[in-house]
Amino acid sequence: MRDIMGMMGKVKEMQAKMEKLQEEIALLEVDGTSGGGLVTVRLDGKGMLKSINIDPSLFKEDDVEILEDLIVAAHKDGKDKAEAITAEKTRELTAGLPIPPGMKLPF
């Protein structure tokens, strides 16, 4: 019975830590870049686009496709960075817990 009570206490503790982690992730902001810094996007921790900064040299009529590709690449770069930070924070939080491989946290 003590083991169950101890485990329940650990579950509550983990739940509180996970809620705090989710709050931290929501406040996180990362920049993604492409084209050697010609396009920069800012994303929140959930991958939502917050802002775009485009170097004026890219504003030429015949370069529209290149600009569109650079925006997509910058967004992917930022999202990958946000996911890497989230994964690292989650790994730190769950260190030592028997979590099945491939299970993604936070839910």
State whether residue 49 is helix, strand or coil: strand
- The two structure tokens encoding residue 23: 């709050």
Helix (H) or strand (E) holding 44: strand 39-44
In single-letter form, the type of residue at position 54 comes to I
Whether the model pTM is above 0.85: no
45-103 tens-digit pLDDT: 888 888 888 888 888 777 778 888 888 899 989 889 888 888 888 888 777 665 555 55
Return d(Cα 37, Cα 22) in angstroms, integer: 30
Residue 99 is predicted with a pLDDT of 58
CB atoms within 10 A of CB 56: 7
9-31 tens-digit pLDDT: 777 888 888 888 888 888 889 89
